[in-house]
Structure formats: C-alpha cells, structure tokens
Chain A
Amino acid sequence: GEEVAQTPKHLVRGEGQKAKLYCAPIKGHSYVFWYQQVLKNEFKFLISFQNENVFDETGMPKERFSAKCLPNSPCSLEIQATKLEDSAVYFCASSQAINEQFFGPGTRLTVL
C-alpha cells in the first residue's frame, strides 16, 4: 500500500497480559522501524528490520519484547507480560534505503 498501516488503533491490557501489535509497511520499502512514544513526546527507538532480518535491536528491552517481519505477513511487535510502564503509543515506520521514514498512525497501548 501507499501508507504504513498499523493495527489495532487502541489496545488495552491488564498488567501481565500479552500484547501484540501489527504493522504493514509501504510496499517496496525494505526497512521497518518500531518506536515507542511515551510522555512529553519522547520517542524511543526499539528495533529495525531489513526485510525479514533484524537490522538493529539496540533499543529493545530483551526480556519481554520481541518482534518479527516475516515474508508476506505484517510485521509484529509482541510484549509478553505487560507492565504499567509499557503504556505508550507504538509507531511503526518504513523506508527505502536511507530515504525519509514514513510513519504509521500508531497503536496506543494502555496497560491497567
């Protein structure tokens, strides 16, 4: 597609439950990025993929967060055993090589 699509738009989970977020990058874009936006507009980089391969995962909390980008499927970001501090808006972006990144509308995760 011509836009980055993210689902769901909103997600509410009880503490300790699993959360799974999806991202469909723009067709033809090789790179996918996940960011977490918490209070005060602070964006934190989580992980990036080049096609289905992890490109950079230096921002990922390793214990509970995992992500995949499989061929012919939306990319996913999964949080096992969510915590209150995981409440944030999660953005997915895609890009072609080193060109500008295009962002999806985000998924708002609320952990109660």
Chain B
Amino acid sequence: KQEVTQIPAALSVPEGENLVLNCSFTDSAIYNLQWFRQDPGKGLTSLLLIQSSQREQTSGRLNASLDKSSGRSTLYIAASQPGDSATYLCAVRTEDTGRRALTFGSGTRLQVQP
C-alpha cells in the first residue's frame, strides 16, 4: 500500500528566504507526482505535475524534483513571499492497472513572515 510522508509538518520562515519542502513515498512504481497548494477553507490548486519519467518541473519561483528510485520529491520555493503562506500537499498516482486515485501526504503548513 502506498504511503506518502511530508516533512516538515509546519514551517515558518521570514520573507525572502528560499525553502525546501520534502515528500517521500514508499512505492516507487508511480505514474506521476503532483504538488498542490491549499489555502485555509479552500480547495486545491495544482502547482506542478511531474511524470515518472521526468526529473523536475519548474513554474516561476517553484521547482519540483523527483527521484523515483529513492521515493522522494522536493518542492523548492525561491524568494518566499507572505502570499506563499498555505498548506502544500504532495500526492502520487501509483502505477496500478486499476487505480488512478491520488495518495496524499498530510501536508506542510507554511507561514512566511513579512
């Protein structure tokens, strides 16, 4: 059974810092990995999707990497801003002929101090 872990559970940084959020998964046979952002009381916004054959994806100040063999992904946020404050979730789609649902980590709650 796929399990996804995110470390740290919470993070508080001053504005302008670069930071790394970590995600690990137990079953390396994945289709893809998706990073989401969730604001309090809101839905999920997809940030980046990395296919299993890819090593990284970039969007603006965000860079996500994937090391499938070691079961790890990182989300790098450059020059953090107070508007980046949210919970960040990673989710994997396991390579299984039947299931296409996502398995989520429990998230990292990020607070960027102005």
B-contact bits for A82-98, CB 8 A (1 contact / 0 none): 00000000010101001
Tell me the smallest distance from the CB of B62 to a CB of chain A, in Å: 15
**Smallest CB separation, A35 vs chain B (Å):** 8
Q: How many residues of B contact A (CB 8 A)?
A: 24
Residues of B within 8 A of A56 (CB): 98-101
B75 proximal to A (CB < 8 A): no
Interface residues as binary, A33-44 with B (CB distance below 8 Å gives 1, 0 otherwise): 101000011110
CA distance A103 to B104 in the complex (A): 13
A106 nearest in chain B by CB position: B43
Q: Does A45 contact B (CB under 8 A)?
A: yes
A22 within 8 A of B: no
The B interface is mostly helix, strand or loop, or mixed, namely strand
Is B79 located at the chain interface by the 8 A CB criterion?
A: no
| B residues near A102, Cβ cutoff 8 Å | 46
**A74 on the interface (CB 8 Å rule)?**
no
Which residues B31-50 have CB closer than 8 A to chain A? 31-32, 34, 36, 38, 42-46, 49
Of all chain B residues, the one with the shortest Cβ separation from A101 is: B102
Query: In the bound complex, how far is the Cα of B101 from the Cα of A93, in angstroms?
Result: 10
Q: How far is A72 from B81 in the complex, measured between Cα atoms in Å? A: 43
Q: A45-B101, A56-B98, A59-B101 are in contact. Are A100 and B43 (CB under 8 A)?
A: no
Sampled A-B contacts (12; CB under 8 Å):
A31-B100, A35-B102, A41-B104, A41-B106, A43-B91, A45-B103, A58-B99, A98-B93, A99-B49, A100-B32, A102-B46, A105-B42
**B residues with CB within 8 A of A:** 31-32, 34, 36, 38, 42-46, 49, 87, 89, 91, 93, 98-104, 106-107
Cβ-closest 10 pairs across A and B: A43-B104, A41-B107, A105-B43, A45-B101, A103-B44, A100-B49, A106-B43, A56-B99, A103-B43, A41-B106
